[in-house]
């Protein structure tokens, strides 16, 4: 019996997950054992979709807007519980319960580790949404205990990020988005890491100003890839991790959970970058 997996969310047509998982299956020599598809599923239809999965199903990758609703469909791992967001469902067998995971945190750390970044103490975090919450917990796991957050609305930023920062022991200093941050005096004008999580393109002048204040850069999104921050980091010769590194990182842990095998990130990154290049309009 072919084992089935899929990505669900809405909209789903743009998802790179089928490409990543199918590439991994081919590299691992299990393409005839596993099938990976994509389905349009919203929180309103999630219960019905999961209930209809047969015995051939192994698991699901889950993207927006279903990540919070997924928590009701299994026992959550500590990371998913802390973030109140899950991106992976592994179906229980032989009376075992379903399990839900958040592999974004593992992907965050793995993407940085592949570029030699394994620890940090100070960080600048751009944004305060769901990706910023994930990044903040990832930063805490790296050792960050002091962070400047650039956000348009301090009260919203606090409401989103304080529940993560408090238990993780990270001090947050919220500053307005749109200009280079004023770093705390004790940082000596320098932060270990910049993480940008905003889906909109950052102006070139702001991107340049941001990268001048840090040792390494993580552009967590791949909207407008390569972004202004990606380009500024390259010009400055900084260690740089981009949104495709992040995407592959979280997919690798999903593949491990679904197949029990560890895929090589190289072919997945190559396939991902080739597909993004193909999708970009010709000059």
pLDDT at 280 over 90: no
Question: 3-class DSSP state for residue 167?
Answer: helix
Specify the pLDDT at position 249: 95
Average per-residue pLDDT in the chain?
Answer: 95
Q: Rounded to an integer, what is the distance from CA 204 to the centroid of its chain? A: 23
pLDDT at site 152: 94
Distance CA 214, CA 155 (A): 26
Q: Report the pLDDT value the prediction gives residue 141, as an integer from 0 to 100.
A: 96
Tokens found for residue 26: 């081919």
Judge contact between 141 and 110, C-beta under 8 A: no
- pLDDT per residue as tens digits for the range 194-205: 999 998 888 999
Q: 144: exposed, middle or buried (C-beta count within 10 Å: 0-12, 13-18, 19+)? A: buried
Query: What are the tens digits of pLDDT across the range 115-143?
Result: 999 999 999 999 999 999 999 999 999 99
Task: For residue 213, indicate whether it is catalytic.
Answer: no
CATH topology of domain 105-241: Rossmann fold (3.40.50)
Kind of pairing, strands 57-62 and 88-90?
A: antiparallel
Q: Mean pLDDT across the stretch 259-263?
A: 97
Q: pLDDT confidence of 282, banded at 50, 70, 90?
A: low
pLDDT at 223: 79
Q: Which fold has domain 3-102+246-279?
A: Rossmann fold (3.40.50)
Domain spans of the chain? 3-102+246-279, 105-241
The percent of residues in the chain predicted with pLDDT above 70, rounded, is 99
In the set 67, 73, 99, 133, the catalytic residue is: 67
Q: Do domains 3-102+246-279 and 105-241 have the same CATH topology?
A: yes
Cα separation of 94 and 82, whole Å? 28
């Amino acid at each position: 019996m072919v084992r089935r997996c899929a990505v669900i969310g809405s909209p789903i047509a743009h998802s790179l997950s089928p490409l990543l998982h199918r590439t991994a299956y081919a590299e691992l020599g299990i393409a005839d054992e596993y099938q990976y598809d994509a389905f349009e599923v919203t929180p309103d239809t999630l219960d019905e979709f999961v209930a209809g999965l047969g015995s051939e199903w192994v698991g699901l990758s889950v993207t927006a807007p279903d990540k919070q609703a997924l928590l009701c469909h299994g026992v959550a791992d500590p990371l998913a519980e802390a973030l109140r967001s899950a991106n992976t469902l592994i179906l229980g067998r032989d009376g075992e319960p379903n399990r839900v995971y958040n592999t974004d945190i593992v992907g965050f750390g793995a993407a940085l580790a592949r570029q030699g970044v394994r620890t940090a103490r100070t960080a600048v975090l751009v944004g305060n949404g769901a990706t910023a919450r994930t990044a903040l917990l990832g930063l805490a796991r790296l050792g960050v205990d002091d962070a400047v957050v650039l956000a348009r609305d301090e009260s919203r930023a606090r409401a989103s990020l304080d529940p993560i920062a408090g238990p993780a022991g990270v001090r947050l200093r919220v500053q307005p988005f749109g200009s280079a941050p004023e770093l705390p005096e004790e940082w000596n004008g320098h932060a270990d890491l910049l993480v940008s999580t905003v889906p909109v393109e950052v102006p070139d002048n702001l991107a340049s100003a941001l990268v001048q204040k840090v040792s390494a850069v993580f552009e967590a999104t791949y909207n407008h890839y390569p972004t202004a921050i990606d380009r500024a980091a390259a010009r400055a010769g900084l260690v740089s991790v981009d949104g495709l590194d992040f995407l592959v990182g979280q997919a690798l842990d999903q593949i491990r959970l679904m197949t029990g095998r560890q895929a090589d990130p190289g072919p997945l990154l190559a396939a991902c970058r080739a597909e993004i290049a193909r999708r970009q309009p010709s000059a």
